[in-house]
């Protein structure tokens, strides 16, 4: 049966992996709409290739270029924040939510309100607005499938089991490119070094987050919302090989782990085919060649981001949204050469120390908290 699909963030790494899977099974999918922040020429080419009905750029300034690139194709073009929400509300059978940052919050909510299936790859939706999003999922009867490799692994390990039987949910972390670096080396880490992840090919922001371990901290908060077993039954383990993507331990002593190659097409395929399976072009694991799987506890002295995330989760309310916003500002500043690598987590920590707004109860309030936290974080970038 052919299913309709909309991909929010089609030109990013998640979007590219999703489209690669669809490309291999074109008859199974009717691509309704594709979006990008800009990348007008690339977006237009993808829309034409997949026969999309609509292409949308989040940056309205890129709309003229998109219209020109789509000229004569019959594909409708639109631009701006509202257009992203409109396309998310088209009611496709599946919406892949892969817009990076808080720009993806409103489109995710618009998709959830249609009561269909959402493959969620936007961290901010759960980190900054987890309570609001999960309430909306329940209200509208939507199906939320986690696309992050770690959360998808947990989702698979929980299949057919009861959360009451869970003793531990363990998120695995590669440790990033600086896993064995000293404090002194970390202070001098460069942009180029931070963007060389040992296992995964990802966008710049998430790759830096992996280097600071903030990515795992944010995933800890996401897991808290997706799998409500309580914060005291969630933990992080460093696993440099990135073969085990996460684990679930049950009260009878059994531990189920999901293993797979370091390729995002694996968890995306799990979502696209759910509750079944589908073929991918991913190279299967060769365990004898891999040889050894190792594990270690996180070093929260050198990498305080996971501690900050855990503290933000315990504090609740606006704290996770503040942490996420401050981290986004700090990562952007690092990528622009304004601050050092170790200042990323330091700025996030200092922002969390400020008086926090009251707990947001709506998307508008979440965005207001996000905006205020960004202002505070940017002030810390300025020289005294």
The pLDDT value given to residue 172 = 97
Q: How far apart are CA 271 and CA 274, in angstroms?
A: 5
Residue 329's H or E segment, with its range, is helix 319-335
Q: What does the chain come to in residues? A: 384
How sure is the predictor about 124, in pLDDT bands with cuts at 50, 70 and 90? confident
CA proximity to 249, closest of 172, 148, 308: 172
Q: How far apart are CA 366 and CA 359, in angstroms?
A: 8
Rounded to the nearest 10 degrees, the angle between the axes of helix 265-273 and helix 13-23 is 60
Provide the CA 42 distance to its chain's centre, in angstroms: 22
- 14-48 pLDDT, tens digit per residue, is 999 999 999 999 999 999 999 999 999 999 999 99
The pLDDT value given to residue 383 = 63
pLDDT average, residue stretch 97-106: 89
Distances (CA, A) of 178 to 148, 200, 220, 250, 303: 22, 14, 20, 32, 10
The pLDDT value given to residue 232 = 96
The residues, any chain, with a CB within 8 Å of residue 286's CB and separated by 6 or more, are none
Terminal CA-to-CA distance of the chain, rounded, Å?
62
If you compute the radius of gyration of the chain from its CA atoms, what whole number of angstroms results?
20
Q: How far apart are CA 309 and CA 213, in angstroms?
A: 10
The pLDDT value given to residue 206 = 87
- 315-374 pLDDT, tens digit per residue, is 999 999 999 999 999 999 999 999 999 999 999 999 999 988 889 999 999 999 999 999
Provide the CA 67 distance to its chain's centre, in angstroms: 29
Angle at 73 between CA 68 and CA 75, to 5 degrees: 85
Are 268 and 18 within 8 A, CB to CB?
yes
- 285-305 pLDDT, tens digit per residue, is 999 999 999 999 999 999 999
| pTM for the model | 0.93
How sure is the predictor about 1, in pLDDT bands with cuts at 50, 70 and 90? confident
The pLDDT value given to residue 384 = 45
pLDDT average, residue stretch 238-267: 96
Q: Strands, E, within 251-291: which ranges?
A: 255-259
The residues, any chain, with a CB within 8 Å of residue 310's CB and separated by 6 or more, are 217, 220, 231
Six-digit token pair at 337?
Answer: 């050469």
Determine whether 143 is exposed, middle or buried from the number of CB atoms within 10 Å of its CB (0-12, 13-18, 19+): middle
Q: How far apart are CA 146 and CA 227, in angstroms?
A: 11
pLDDT mean across residues, the chain: 95
- Residues 55, 79, 114, 275, CA torsion sign: positive
CA proximity to 199, closest of 238, 159, 230: 238
Q: How far apart are CA 238 and CA 257, in angstroms?
A: 14
For residue 28, the tally of other CB atoms under 10 A from its CB is 15
pLDDT average, residue stretch 171-185: 95
Could you give the residue ranges of the DSSP H alpha helices within 78-165? 81-88, 105-112, 123-127, 130-140, 149-158
What's the CATH number of domain 3-146, 3.40.50.620, 3.30.200.20, 3.40.50.720, 3.30.565.10? 3.40.50.720
Strand ordering across the sheet containing 94-97: 76-79, 54-57, 29-36, 3-8, 94-97, 117-120, 143-146
Question: How do the domains of the chain map onto residue ranges?
Answer: 3-146, 151-315
The four Cα atoms 151, 28, 74, 56 give a dihedral, to 10 degrees, of: 0
């Amino acid at each position: 049966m052919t299913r309709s699909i909309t991909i929010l963030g089609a030109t990013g790494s998640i979007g590219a992996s999703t489209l690669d899977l669809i490309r291999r099974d074109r008859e199974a999918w009717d691509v309704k709409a594709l979006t990008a922040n800009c990348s007008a020429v690339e977006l237009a080419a993808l829309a034409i290739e997949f026969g999309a009905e609509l292409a949308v750029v989040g940056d309205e300034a890129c709309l003229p270029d998109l219209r020109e690139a789509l000229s004569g194709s019959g594909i409708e073009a639109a631009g701006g924040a509202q257009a992203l929400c409109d396309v998310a509300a088209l009611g496709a059978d599946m919406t892949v939510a892969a817009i990076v940052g808080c720009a993806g919050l409103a489109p995710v909510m618009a998709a959830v309100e249609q009561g269909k299936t959402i493959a969620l790859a936007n961290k901010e939706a759960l980190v900054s607005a987890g309570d609001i999003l999960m309430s909306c999922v329940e209200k509208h009867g939507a199906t939320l499938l986690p696309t992050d490799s770690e959360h998808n692994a947990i989702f698979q390990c929980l299949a057919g089991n009861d959360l009451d039987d869970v003793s531990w949910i363990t998120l695995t972390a590669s440790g990033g490119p600086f896993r064995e670096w000293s404090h002194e080396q970390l202070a001098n880490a460069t942009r180029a070094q931070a963007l060389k992840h040992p296992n995964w090919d990802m966008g710049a922001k998430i790759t830096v987050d992996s280097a600071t371990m903030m990515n795992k901290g944010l995933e800890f908060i996401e897991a808290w919302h997706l799998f409500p077993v309580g914060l005291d039954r969630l933990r992080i383990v460093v696993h440099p090989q990135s073969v085990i993507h996460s684990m679930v331990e049950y009260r009878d002593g059994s531990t189920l782990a999901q293993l797979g190659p370091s390729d995002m097409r694996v968890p995306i395929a799990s979502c696209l085919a759910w509750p079944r399976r589908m073929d991918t072009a991913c190279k299967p694991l060769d365990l004898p060649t891999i040889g050894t799987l190792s594990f270690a506890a996180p070093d929260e002295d050198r990498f305080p981001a996971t501690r900050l995330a855990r503290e933000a989760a315990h504090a609740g309310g606006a704290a996770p949204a503040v942490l996420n916003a401050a981290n986004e500002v700090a990562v952007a500043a690092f990528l622009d050469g304004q601050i050092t690598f170790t200042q990323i987590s330091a700025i996030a920590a200092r922002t969390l120390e400020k008086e926090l707004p009251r707990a947001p109860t709506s998307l508008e309030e979440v965005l207001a908290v996000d905006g205020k936290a960004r202002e505070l974080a940017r002030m810390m970038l300025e020289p005294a």
